[in-house]
Amino acid sequence: MSDTKDRLLQTAARLFHEQGYHATGVATILREAGVNSGSLYHHFAGKEALLRGVLDWYLDQLRPVITGPVEAAESDPLERIFVLLGNYRAMLESTGCVLGCPIGNLALEVSADHPAVRPLIDANFAQWRAVVASWIDQARDRLLDDVDAEALALFVLTTMEGAIMLARARGTLEPFDVAVANLRRHVELLTA
Amino acid sequence: MSDTKDRLLQTAARLFHEQGYHATGVATILREAGVNSGSLYHHFAGKEALLRGVLDWYLDQLRPVITGPVEAAESDPLERIFVLLGNYRAMLESTGCVLGCPIGNLALEVSADHPAVRPLIDANFAQWRAVVASWIDQARDRLLDDVDAEALALFVLTTMEGAIMLARARGTLEPFDVAVANLRRHVELLTA
Amino acid sequence: MSDTKDRLLQTAARLFHEQGYHATGVATILREAGVNSGSLYHHFAGKEALLRGVLDWYLDQLRPVITGPVEAAESDPLERIFVLLGNYRAMLESTGCVLGCPIGNLALEVSADHPAVRPLIDANFAQWRAVVASWIDQARDRLLDDVDAEALALFVLTTMEGAIMLARARGTLEPFDVAVANLRRHVELLTA
Amino acid sequence: MSDTKDRLLQTAARLFHEQGYHATGVATILREAGVNSGSLYHHFAGKEALLRGVLDWYLDQLRPVITGPVEAAESDPLERIFVLLGNYRAMLESTGCVLGCPIGNLALEVSADHPAVRPLIDANFAQWRAVVASWIDQARDRLLDDVDAEALALFVLTTMEGAIMLARARGTLEPFDVAVANLRRHVELLTA
DNA sequence: CATGAATGAGTATTCATTCAT
DNA sequence: AATGAATGAATACTCATTCAT
């Protein structure tokens, strides 16, 4: 991948995360990436294609950057869930509860009117969920028999996305922490 | 409240919900409300003030329109939670999983760069949560002693917001239903 | 004159002086005067008519407020010129060289495209010049025979307006003081 | 310099001179220059930056276009002053006393609320004054010993700016001619 | 592949003014 | 005389995109 294209993707990813898709102008991406407008349209069909490129890139990064390190750092499969959530908490904390999950931000803003983008957002969610499901599956002998790993993984994801949303709205970590505490209680009840 | 102002609020509420805040142009609001540009700025200081008006209006509507009917239709306090979630499901279903919670849509898009709006989003979440907490509190003798009504109400909210987000991203109701099923299981475990 | 009309005139006079005619919006005048838009158009035909009202008011004020006090404070007719210029200097000084002669500000901005206003600006200049000419005339026996009082009065006025312009452009009183020093020298040469 | 940028500068210079800064809309400049709105903001940061560009351009033009021809046409240094003033008189005459000094017009309108512009206006005045001072300096042996070339040059400038202002307000050349006659008398007295 | 000028519809907002009450 | 909502053209400026070099 050319350096220019890479710089565009990283800059766009950051700005879409910080400001959202519509609030981020192409001119801002170009300026901050140090790229000319002509070059953007050489590498991407337009702003939406750049967004798709960003979501592809997130998908590639998910295992090596997001879930892989959690697996390396924590061997207990159920505990990995809470280490992962703790990492998102750390991002919220270090940014004053401004930056949460980049996919979640885009999901609500872009799903409705950009049909070509929605599958990529869904794919990111699906892979995140699949990794967490694999962890739960590894702990299936500690869980009640009727626990569905895929379903519980989705519940982890909805909790995280909802928790980030409320933490951003409040401007404090409290909603995030309360939501995660509820989730932990739920997992404990399922392991009783 | 004047007719013009009311029409602006209702039109803006609908468009912000359907398209998001940034993707909705003032010109579109004016055209669909049948209002001249000058009149908007007679009633509101600007687009952001209009958004604040919308969020104030949502707050006023919450009990009479959202939670009140649930209380009228269902007497079991815990079951009310699932009736309420069912109503959001119905909105998703009738719009092809496009329209979910109007507050949640705005929370992620606007929290970061519109500091004057964030408290109003938080207030909407807080009041929703307070009503649900009051229901849980009414059922406290059926719940484990250590259940915190406020905390559990927040968990209901994060589940709902996360569930709507995933249903919109997928374009189907499945994630919503799976999340709600998890939540129901959680409540059942707390009533054992 | 009604209180409302008076307040409009005084507020408009101040704002036109501070910001200029085009840069002052009617809405600002109304807000700062505490008057409704309907009332303005009851008393004046429009913004330009308000400006004409201001210029009429300046003309009324000229003798009682501008030149009268100079005559009361200084008996030497030639010295009165420099007392008068000193008063304009004081206004420049107390406003950081921002506010000079209100008529001069408007003359350049409005003469070209508001033909109904120009005669009023000219009348203000003419009356100012007439008063100064009367002072010079009182000192005619101390001046060279060929000194034309009207002509010299105009020279005083051009010096003052040019001096204010340069002081505003520089942001210091130096150009004003230098110009007045030149003028004093000129008067001295004419009294030799 | 690109053709587009040049056309913008020349058109803006003309319109700012004819109508003033605030009374000239960006749309008018664009229409008369035959330039698209986007292009203006490619070359200039905004309307004020365009004004700064105009003032820079005036500064560049001052010697080659304004004072240079005077030096070529008239060898007597003191007489050059009156040739220069005569050129401004010709501009007033050919435009029905509407167009005077483009810098003076802007000085009063823009000095107060556009701090970034003021130094450029001052620079134009300063350079004009410096050229005239150099002429006076060349005639220093014909002038009284205590004549300060810089101070007298400023007096020439204030006279000219004040004279143009009054000629525009009156709509005739008479105030200009009277002011210049006074100035000529002053110079004669200094050469006695 | 890069450059950067050009495009022109679109943005939110302000303008002076009118008018029904 | 006063009120304040309504009017809609005009304001300065930004948008994503195109294209000749």
Q: Do chains C and D touch (3 or more CB pairs under 8 A)?
A: yes
Please say if the pLDDT value at position A75 is more than 90: yes
* Cβ contact A183–B155 (<8 Å): yes
Residue A60 covered by a domain: yes
Average pLDDT of the residues in D23-51: 97
Using 50, 70 and 90 to split pLDDT, how confident is the model at A26? very high
- Looking at the complex, does the CB of residue A125 fall below 8 Å from at least one CB of chain B? yes
**Greatest alpha-carbon span in chain C:** 61
pLDDT confidence of residue A1: 55
d(CA B172, CA B159): 16
Protein CB footprint (7 Å) on chain F nucleotides: 1-20
pLDDT in tens, C107-162: 999 988 899 999 999 999 999 999 999 999 999 999 999 999 999 999 999 999 99
Query: Closest residue by Cα to the C1' atom of nucleotide E17?
Result: C46
- Beta-carbon contacts of D148 under 8 Å, excluding residues fewer than 6 positions away, are none
Q: How much is the pLDDT for B115?
A: 93
Phi-psi region of B20 (alpha: psi -120 to 50; beta: other; left: phi over 0): left
How high is the pLDDT of residue C75? 97
Residue D136 to residue D176: CA distance in whole angstroms? 21
Nearest to C169 by CA among C84, C128, C108: C108
Is the predicted pLDDT of residue D173 greater than 90, yes or no? yes
Q: Is A55 helix (H, G, I), strand (E, B) or coil?
A: helix
pLDDT attached to residue D1: 54
- What is the distance in angstroms between the Cα of C162 and the nearest Cα belonging to chain D? 4
Is there a domain that residue D10 lies in?
no
CA→C1' distance for C38 and E16 (Å): 12
Segment C48-72, tens digit of pLDDT: 999 999 999 999 999 999 999 999 9
CATH classification at residue B127: 1.10.357.10
Q: Is residue A182 part of a domain?
A: yes
Nearest to D107 by CA among A15, A29, C97: C97
Checking each nucleotide's C1' against the CA of A41, the nearest proves to be F17
Instruction: Note the pLDDT of residue D184.
Output: 98
Mean pLDDT of C171-184: 98
Number of domains composing chain D: 1
Q: What is the pLDDT of residue A111?
A: 87
Q: Does C43 touch chain D (CB under 8 A)?
A: no
Average pLDDT over residues C85-96: 97
Q: For residue A64, is pLDDT > 80? A: yes
Q: Does any domain span residue C106?
A: yes
Q: What is d(CA C32, CA C26) in angstroms, rounded to the nearest whole number?
A: 10
CA of D32 to C1' of F18 (A): 24
Q: What integer pLDDT is reported at residue B1 of this predicted model?
A: 53
**B12 assigned to some structural domain:** no
Whether B83 maps to a domain, the answer reads: yes
Q: Under 8 Å CB-to-CB from A17, ≥6 apart: which residues?
A: A99, A102, A105
| DSSP 8-state code for residue D1 | -
Amino acid at B184: R
> What CA–CA distance (Å, rounded) separates C156 from D99?
23
CB contact under 8 A, C157 and D162: yes
Task: Let me know if residue B9 belongs to a domain.
Answer: no
The parent domain of residue C102 ranges over: 51-190
Beta carbons of B159 and A165 less than 8 angstroms apart: no
Q: Note whether D154 contacts C109, CB cutoff 8 Å.
A: no
The runs of H, that is alpha helices, within C34-170 are: 37-43, 47-61, 68-73, 77-94, 102-110, 118-138, 149-170
C contacts of D173 (beta carbons < 8 Å) = none
User: C22 Cβ partners below 8 Å, 6+ apart?
Assistant: C109, D20, D22, D23, D109
Res D111: pLDDT: 87
**Window from A11-15, A108-112, C78-82 with minimum mean pLDDT:** A108-112
In this structure, is residue A57 part of a structural domain?
yes
Pairwise CB contact (< 8 Å): C165 & D107:
yes
Shortest CA gap B169–chain A (Å): 5
- B99 vs B84: CA distance, rounded Å: 16
**Which residue's CA shows the smallest distance to C1' of E1?**
A39
Per-residue pLDDT, averaged over D39-62, amounts to 97
